[in-house]
Amino acid sequence: MSKDDDLKDVRAAEGQRGRRPIDIEAHRLRLRLLKVFREALKLNDEELFKETIIHELGQLPGSPDYQHSLQAWRSLHGRPYK
Protein backbone atom coordinates (compact mmCIF):
# COMPACT_ATOMS: atom_id res chain seq x y z
CA MET A 1 0.00 0.00 0.00
CA SER A 2 1.40 3.40 -0.93
CA LYS A 3 1.55 6.50 1.20
CA ASP A 4 -1.21 8.06 -0.91
CA ASP A 5 -3.52 5.11 -0.24
CA ASP A 6 -2.83 5.33 3.50
CA LEU A 7 -3.56 9.04 3.44
CA LYS A 8 -6.85 8.49 1.60
CA ASP A 9 -7.92 5.84 4.11
CA VAL A 10 -7.12 8.11 7.05
CA ARG A 11 -9.00 11.02 5.49
CA ALA A 12 -12.02 8.83 4.79
CA ALA A 13 -12.03 7.50 8.35
CA GLU A 14 -11.69 11.01 9.80
CA GLY A 15 -14.51 12.24 7.59
CA GLN A 16 -16.89 9.69 9.09
CA ARG A 17 -15.85 10.10 12.71
CA GLY A 18 -18.58 11.38 15.01
CA ARG A 19 -21.40 11.01 12.49
CA ARG A 20 -24.35 8.85 13.28
CA PRO A 21 -26.34 7.15 10.55
CA ILE A 22 -29.59 8.92 9.73
CA ASP A 23 -32.79 7.16 10.82
CA ILE A 24 -34.92 7.72 7.72
CA GLU A 25 -38.21 6.70 9.37
CA ALA A 26 -37.64 9.02 12.34
CA HIS A 27 -36.82 11.85 9.94
CA ARG A 28 -40.01 11.23 7.94
CA LEU A 29 -42.10 11.11 11.13
CA ARG A 30 -40.59 14.39 12.28
CA LEU A 31 -41.39 16.09 8.95
CA ARG A 32 -44.94 14.69 8.96
CA LEU A 33 -45.51 15.90 12.54
CA LEU A 34 -44.15 19.35 11.79
CA LYS A 35 -46.47 19.66 8.80
CA VAL A 36 -49.57 18.63 10.77
CA PHE A 37 -48.67 20.72 13.83
CA ARG A 38 -48.14 23.79 11.62
CA GLU A 39 -51.55 23.20 10.06
CA ALA A 40 -53.21 22.77 13.48
CA LEU A 41 -51.59 25.98 14.72
CA LYS A 42 -52.54 27.89 11.59
CA LEU A 43 -56.18 26.76 11.84
CA ASN A 44 -56.23 26.92 15.66
CA ASP A 45 -57.60 23.36 15.49
CA GLU A 46 -57.28 21.59 18.84
CA GLU A 47 -59.02 18.47 17.54
CA LEU A 48 -56.42 18.05 14.77
CA PHE A 49 -53.70 18.46 17.40
CA LYS A 50 -55.34 15.81 19.61
CA GLU A 51 -55.73 13.36 16.71
CA THR A 52 -52.09 13.82 15.78
CA ILE A 53 -50.68 13.23 19.25
CA ILE A 54 -52.90 10.16 19.63
CA HIS A 55 -52.31 8.54 16.23
CA GLU A 56 -48.79 9.67 15.34
CA LEU A 57 -47.17 9.82 18.79
CA GLY A 58 -49.26 7.15 20.50
CA GLN A 59 -50.19 9.39 23.42
CA LEU A 60 -53.38 7.97 24.87
CA PRO A 61 -56.00 10.27 26.42
CA GLY A 62 -55.43 10.45 30.16
CA SER A 63 -51.75 9.52 29.95
CA PRO A 64 -49.20 11.93 31.45
CA ASP A 65 -47.68 12.63 28.01
CA TYR A 66 -51.10 13.40 26.52
CA GLN A 67 -51.99 15.67 29.44
CA HIS A 68 -48.68 17.51 29.13
CA SER A 69 -49.10 17.99 25.36
CA LEU A 70 -52.66 19.24 25.74
CA GLN A 71 -51.63 21.57 28.54
CA ALA A 72 -48.87 23.03 26.33
CA TRP A 73 -51.33 23.49 23.44
CA ARG A 74 -53.89 25.24 25.62
CA SER A 75 -51.36 27.49 27.35
CA LEU A 76 -50.07 28.52 23.92
CA HIS A 77 -53.59 29.52 22.98
CA GLY A 78 -54.37 31.27 26.27
CA ARG A 79 -56.87 28.70 27.42
CA PRO A 80 -56.80 27.17 30.89
CA TYR A 81 -56.16 23.46 31.08
CA LYS A 82 -59.14 21.46 32.31
Task: Check residue 82 and give its pLDDT.
Answer: 59
Q: For the segment 19-51, what is each residue's pLDDT rounded down to a tens digit?
A: 677 788 888 899 999 999 999 999 999 999 999
The CA distance from 46 to 8, in Å, is 55
Q: Mean pLDDT across the chain, nearest whole number?
A: 85
Task: Say yes or no to pLDDT of 62 above 90.
Answer: yes
Contact status, residue 45 vs residue 53, Cβ threshold 8 Å: no
Sign of CA dihedral 49, 52, 58, 60: positive
The closest of 67, 57, 63 to 33, measured between CA atoms, is: 57
* Alpha-carbon distances of 45 from 12, 38, 56, 61, 64, rounded to whole Å: 49, 10, 16, 17, 21
Q: Please tell me the predicted confidence (pLDDT) of residue 33.
A: 92
The pTM for the full model equals 0.66
